[in-house]
Amino acid sequence: MLKSVAPIAVFAFNRAGNLTQTLAALAANQLADQSHLTIFCDGPRNDVERSKTDTVRAVARAAKGFASLRVVERENNLGCAGSIIDGLQQMFAEHERVIVIEDDILCSPDTLTFLNDGLAKYENHKTVWNISAWSPPAAIFPVHSDYPYDVYVVPRFNCWGWGSWRDRFALIDWNVSDYAMFSQCQALQRAFNRGGVDLTSMLNEQMCGELDTWDIRMDYARFKYGCVGVNPVRSYTTNIGIGSGTHTTNFTTRFDNDITLAKSPDQVRWIDHIFVDAEMLRNFVHIYEDSNPARRSLRNALQKCHLLPLAQKIKRVLGC
């Protein structure tokens, strides 16, 4: 199925230990020696942080096991969103397809093969936005025994190891220019939340300045164009940086994956005709439901009254 080996973009900042593990796992992949690797290293936020970012850059320059290595060292701190958006724009300007790994994603040895196979298979399925190597752990994501595939389709973009194509990436409006219209339309918000009840809230937080992230804007573009993501039933990646990253401080280890459970790529049963399995989607979105019913009810009420953005601004000003 493999058409050509996609180049890899790795994004790093100040976690040398995580990056070391991420690069070692990537280098152990079967296609590593055929893959061209670019590592984007963001700059320090202050002088105190410079020693950490310098160490990260030394780790990046020492990476081995790939067809080629390019290290992009930022002079200034672009931030999580700025660094990744700028790097993605550079990569997709140069390549038709790209695989993206952040510095806290640990890959199984089959990850690159799975992602490259998926990119080849679904390149001309224009409703497929991306191929993800991540899926929720079996403990929180049950799969019915008669499900006949090793991948599934969801209306959500998962960023813990993924690949996509230039033509899909070109559709993204990073400014979310139609947000005012979206924020006033309950039907659109409900439709966006089909991929998880947290999606509209995250977009609101992004647009109100409470978040500075890239993936929710990419997910909104996916939604606007009626696209979906393809995920493996059992994950090829796990996040080793939960609690130490910019946007994962409140996460728990319930998202830890046993990546040895992933299917060998040559045995993967792919979906030929793209569809969303109702039970798979129901089980998938359940993991994103707010565990606090009172908070969920308040959030929903604020959204219905178009007051959620205002409430989030007040929360930010008060620091609560």
Q: Is the pLDDT of residue 188 over 70?
A: yes
What are the distances in angstroms from CA 157 to CA 107, 216, 269? 18, 8, 21
Q: What is the pLDDT of residue 308?
A: 53
Domain 8-289 falls in which CATH fold?
A: Spore Coat Polysaccharide Biosynthesis Protein SpsA; Chain A (3.90.550)
Q: What is the pLDDT of residue 297?
A: 54
Rg (CA), the chain: 19
Whether 170 and 92 have beta carbons less than 8 Å apart is answered as: yes
Q: What is the pLDDT of residue 142?
A: 93
Q: Is the pLDDT of residue 104 over 50?
A: yes
Is 68 buried (19+), middle (13-18) or exposed (0-12) by CB count in 10 A?
exposed
Q: Is the pLDDT of residue 190 over 80?
A: yes
State what percent of residues in the chain have pLDDT above 70: 86
DSSP secondary structure letters along 1-49: ---SPPPEEEEESS-HHHHHHHHHHHHTSTTGGG-EEEEEEPPPSSGGG
User: What is the pLDDT of the chain when averaged over all its residues?
Assistant: 90
Q: Where does the pLDDT of residue 148 fall: very low under 50, low under 70, confident under 90, or very high at 90 and above?
A: very high
Average pLDDT over residues 109-125: 98
As a whole number of angstroms, the distance between CA 159 and CA 218 comes to: 10
Q: Where are the domains of the chain?
A: 8-289
Q: Is the pLDDT of residue 315 over 50?
A: no
Query: Residues 193-246: pLDDT tens digits?
Result: 999 999 999 999 999 999 999 999 999 999 999 999 999 999 999 999 865 444
Return the higher-pLDDT residue of 18 and 288: 18
